Amino acid sequence: MEVEEHQLWGFLEKLYLNFGYDFRDYARASLKRRICHYLQLKKINSLHELWETIESNELALEQMIQEISVTVTEMFRDPTFFKSLNKHVIPRLKTYPFFKVWVAGCATGEEVYTIAIILKEAGLLERSIIYATDINQHSLKRASDGIFPIDSMKNYIANYQQYGGLGEFSQYYSAKYNAVMMNKDLSKNIVFAPHNLAVDHVFNEFELIICRNVLIYFNQNLQNKVINLFYQSLCDFGYLGLGSKESLLFTDKRKNFVEIDRKEKLFMKS
């Protein structure tokens, strides 16, 4: 199914003006693919028909947002990033009596629990609060529940071992039937909340912000806006972690961050 550019823009504009979901500055090609996939999935023939469906049906709206939001993630994804975080950032966090972490665009929460495990193994979880935010309410609910498919564990265990975890990964969850539930002591210091990086503002000050593999779905204008948001949200000498294909190079704040690890995209606010 083909969607014309002007039709897509009109649909995104109405979506923002009526519901506050702002996808206007998302990378257009990948967003169009996800919307077309959703139209085919639901056997909807046009964006006009889709609008009529979601305009008066909150559940249909939530289902669409869930589908076109990016939610692909895994625990300890890119283990070398977390090795670098452990080497460069954890020692600094140990100097704070209390600190705050923001996992922005947390999707279904795998990266949030990754951070919680790292902090627990460093003896820092009790001295921290982790804010986990996403635009997708359905994903946030799954993250808050802390229940994941048992089929994923083999990959997560391998990632954890490559990272250099201190124990057995199985100590952090209990398995039942075809699912696992993460231990409640990991989530007691986590706050799950909706936040839209495209339109929402600073809501706290953080010592560490993690936002990996989210900016690649934004156009340059929105990437710049979000990096400015992160800059304003970080304390002095706070840390920012991005995804392997993401960069500060073309943003206004590129000179306001120091590269801590160029390969792993770990930065410090200067």
Within a domain: 9: yes
Same-domain check for residues 183 and 52? no
Same-domain check for residues 214 and 165? yes
pLDDT in tens, the chain (270 residues): 678 888 999 999 999 999 888 898 888 888 999 999 999 999 999 999 999 999 989 889 988 988 888 667 899 999 999 999 999 999 999 999 999 999 999 999 999 999 999 999 999 999 999 999 999 888 999 999 999 999 999 999 999 999 999 999 999 999 988 999 999 999 999 999 999 999 999 999 999 999 999 998 898 999 999 999 999 999 999 999 999 989 998 899 999 999 999 999 999 999
CB 224 within 8 A of CB 193: no
Which domain range does residue 256 map to? 79-269
Instruction: Please tell me whether residue 50 adopts helix, strand or coil conformation.
Output: helix
Same-domain check for residues 100 and 168? yes
Within a domain: 74: no
Q: Which pLDDT score is estimated for 94?
A: 98
Q: Report the b/e string of 249-260 with b at 16+ CB within 10 A.
A: eebebeeebeeb
Same-domain check for residues 98 and 50? no
Same-domain check for residues 191 and 213? yes
Within a domain: 48: yes
Same-domain check for residues 227 and 265? yes
Same-domain check for residues 31 and 101? no
Domain closes at, from 68, 91, 115: 68
Helix runs in 20-135, H state only: 28-41, 47-55, 58-68, 79-88, 90-93, 110-121
Count how many domains the chain has. 2
Q: Which pLDDT score is estimated for 265?
A: 97
Q: Residue 235: which CATH number?
A: 3.40.50.150
Contacts of 269 (CB under 8 A, 6+ apart): 231, 234, 235, 236, 237, 238, 239, 240, 256, 257, 258
Same-domain check for residues 257 and 199? yes
Give the bridge partners for 179, in sequence order: 149, 176
DSSP state string for 140-193 = HHHHHHTEEEGGGHHHHHHHHHHHT-SS-GGGGEEEETTEEEE-HHHHTTEEEE
Q: Which pLDDT score is estimated for 250?
A: 85
Within a domain: 73: no
Separation CA 191–CA 239 (nearest Å): 20
Same-domain check for residues 164 and 262? yes
Consecutive H or E run containing 236: strand 234-242
Contacts of 217 (CB under 8 A, 6+ apart): 26, 27, 30, 31, 70
Q: Which pLDDT score is estimated for 71?
A: 67
Within a domain: 249: yes
Within a domain: 250: yes
Same-domain check for residues 213 and 158? yes
- Virtual torsion, Cα 25, 30, 32, 38, nearest 10 deg: -120
